[in-house]
Amino acid sequence: MARVLILRERASGEETARQLRSRGHEPIVLPLEAVVRLDGEPPTAPFDGFAVTSSQAVSSLAEAFAGDPRPVFAVGAATGATIEAAGFPNVHFGSGRAASLPDICSTVFGSRDDGATILYAAGVNRSGSLEAAFADSPFRLLTWEVYDVVRRAPSRDELRGAFDSAPSDAVLLMSQAQAIAFAECIAPYWEDNVETVRLLCLSQRISDALPSGLRSRAEISERPTLPSLFERL
């Protein structure tokens, strides 16, 4: 059993904690992020399908396009399951990497001469990997920003409650923002303990966001999915 620190926003962090408990681990949820919903209206231009790279976008999509029969392209299984649960009937699952979605679009839309336009329900701060993938495809990406993830500073009481009883064995770093927040907020508090905790990163890009002293100790998931990251424990 490992004590595992989770830095995701509260709702996602609790779901990750549930999955870790089912695997016999002891999760510690200390959110360093909060999700802010944006209230902008969706674009009025016509489009042929949707792309989603985070479950955080699903509620806005469901509010604006409940039960829409057009194809929804989800970056991975977890996001796809959330989309299906929201009532979308035509969901296509990617491999967990944004670069996999244009090929799936090609399978769904075939050899349309005019390509197709995909509405991307996105966060404000994002890697740009989906835009880069679609730039080399025949499909047009129409971006609608529906949420933002902002830094949350834990109080001293939260830090003491999370760490003073026993040290953590590992920390899950699932975004560049989490890696930066961990280095700035948690690592200084841990002092000597930070030298022994395992830094489990969902991707190389996330590892690269750590300062050099921590980056050299990062362990990178074989695939950018939670089950693959859990295999490191």
* pLDDT > 80? residue 233: yes
Q: What is the pLDDT of residues 143-190, one digit of tens each?
A: 999 999 999 988 888 888 777 767 789 999 999 999 999 999 888 877
Based on the fold, state whether residues 135 and 56 are members of the same structural domain.
yes
Is 218 among the domain residues?
Answer: yes
Q: How many angstroms separate the CA atoms of 218 and 185, rounded?
A: 17
Based on the fold, state whether residues 127 and 65 are members of the same structural domain.
yes
Based on the fold, state whether residues 53 and 133 are members of the same structural domain.
yes
Structure tokens that stand for 71 in this block: 């194809």
| The domain boundary residue, chosen from 127, 148, 169 | 148
Based on the fold, state whether residues 141 and 53 are members of the same structural domain.
yes
* pLDDT at residue 192 in the model: 66
Q: How many angstroms separate the CA atoms of 75 and 217, rounded?
A: 28
Q: Percent of the chain at pLDDT above 70?
A: 97
Instruction: Average the pLDDT over 37-52 and give the result.
Output: 95
CATH of the domain at 125: 3.40.50.10090
* pLDDT > 80? residue 6: yes
CB neighbour list of residue 138: distance below 8 Å, 6 or more residues apart: 106, 112, 115
Total number of domains in the chain: 2
* pLDDT at residue 112 in the model: 65
| The domain boundary residue, chosen from 148, 173, 199 | 148
Q: What is the pLDDT of residues 74-106, one digit of tens each?
A: 999 999 999 999 999 999 999 988 999 999 999
Query: Please, which contacts does 134-137 make with residues 24 or more away whose CB atoms are closer than 8 Å?
Result: 134/101, 134/102, 136/102, 137/102, 137/105, 137/106
Q: How many angstroms separate the CA atoms of 37 and 47, rounded?
A: 23
* pLDDT at residue 81 in the model: 95
Based on the fold, state whether residues 131 and 166 are members of the same structural domain.
no
Q: For residue 138, which of 182, 105, 99 has the smallest C-alpha distance? A: 105
Given a contact cutoff of 8 angstroms between Cβ atoms, the answer to whether 123 and 100 are in contact is no
Based on the fold, state whether residues 48 and 144 are members of the same structural domain.
yes
Based on the fold, state whether residues 144 and 158 are members of the same structural domain.
no
Is 39 among the domain residues?
Answer: no
| Full domain range(s) for residue 219 | 3-33+151-230
| The domain boundary residue, chosen from 114, 129, 148 | 148
Residue located via tokens 């489009």: 47
Q: How many angstroms separate the CA atoms of 34 and 8, rounded?
A: 8
* pLDDT > 80? residue 43: yes
Is 210 among the domain residues?
Answer: yes
- Please name the amino acid found at residue 104: I
Q: Percent of the chain at pLDDT above 90?
A: 76
pTM: 0.84
Is 38 among the domain residues?
Answer: no
Question: How does DSSP assign 124-151, residue by residue?
Answer: SS--SHHHHHHHTSS-EEEEEEEEEEEE
Q: For residue 68, which of 206, 175, 52, 124 has the smallest C-alpha distance? A: 52
